[in-house]
Chain A
Amino acid sequence: GQSLEQPSEVTAVEGAIVQINCTYQTSGFYGLSWYQQHDGGAPTFLSYNALDGLEETGRFSSFLSRSDSYGYLLLQELQMKDSASYFCAVYTGNQFYFGTGTSLTVIP
């Protein structure tokens, strides 16, 4: 089976940095993705890591350690619009399986 764990809720101050962790146990692993979902909306793609290390895309960075079955999403210079749910997702080569999701609240 597939298991992806994330913290359920995180609160951070506008302008700060926040890290959302993801640990996974899956049968088959090609890479780890991160998606953002605002209330009532569709998930939108943020990043994909196939290899160990840090990938940076603007204010968002994503890290993967395959040996530790662990990754994280780093959000810098937080803005109010970053308040949303964030999901990690493992790509098995055929499908994506999603984590439990982290609700991020950015406060002034």
Chain B
Amino acid sequence: GAVVSQHPSRVICKSGTSVKIECRSLDFQATTMFWYRQFPKKSLMLMATSNEGSKATYEQGVEKDKFLINHASLTLSTLTVTSAHPEDSSFYICSARDHGRLHHGYTFGSGTRLTVV
């Protein structure tokens, strides 16, 4: 089945530094990947749609200069949280769709728990 690998699973960084999160589709090509953010006991909030070879599309209220997305290949999208602050601490999850599958189900990465101290 479709597998999406997300790395790192946990990261602790100092306030003011930047953190890069990688999302890879392992056994399929993903022209589009999605980045979500989830607070404890809350829903997944779509942050942006990452498109291979072009600019990402950000949801309303998401700062594109804060959350840099790069989708340089058909199997890799990265999310960089720039100048991180404690309020950026959250669970970040990527997902991608294998267009060879019929059920419109998107496969999710295992998530990255970011803690900014």
Residues of A within 8 A of B (CB): 30-31, 33, 40-45, 48, 50, 87, 91, 94-101, 103
The answer to whether A41 and B104 touch across the interface, beta carbons within 8 angstroms, is no
Q: Could you list 13 further interchain pairs (A-B, Cβ under 8 angstroms) beyond the known A45-B105, A95-B46, A103-B41?
A: A30-B104, A40-B111, A41-B110, A42-B108, A42-B111, A43-B108, A44-B108, A45-B107, A95-B49, A96-B106, A98-B44, A98-B45, A101-B41
Lowest 9 A-B CB distances belong to which pairs?
A: A45-B105, A42-B108, A98-B44, A48-B103, A101-B43, A98-B43, A48-B104, A42-B110, A43-B108
Q: How many residues of B contact A (CB 8 A)?
A: 22
* Inter-chain contact total with CB atoms closer than 8 Å: 50
Q: Mark B41-69, 1 if CB is under 8 A from A, else 0.
A: 11111100100000000000000000000
Contacts of B110 in A (CB 8 A): 41-42
The answer to whether A42 and B93 touch across the interface, beta carbons within 8 angstroms, is yes
The answer to whether B111 and A41 touch across the interface, beta carbons within 8 angstroms, is yes
Ordered by A's residue number, 25 sampled pairs between the chains whose C-beta atoms are within 8 Å are: A30-B104, A31-B104, A33-B104, A33-B105, A40-B111, A41-B110, A42-B6, A42-B109, A42-B111, A43-B44, A43-B108, A45-B103, A45-B106, A87-B43, A95-B34, A95-B49, A96-B95, A98-B36, A98-B44, A98-B45, A98-B46, A99-B43, A101-B41, A101-B43, A103-B41
Near A by CB (< 8 A), chain B positions 96-117 give 103-111, 113
Residues of B within 8 A of A (CB): 6, 34, 36, 41-46, 49, 93, 95, 103-111, 113
Give complex CA distance A100, B16 in Å: 31
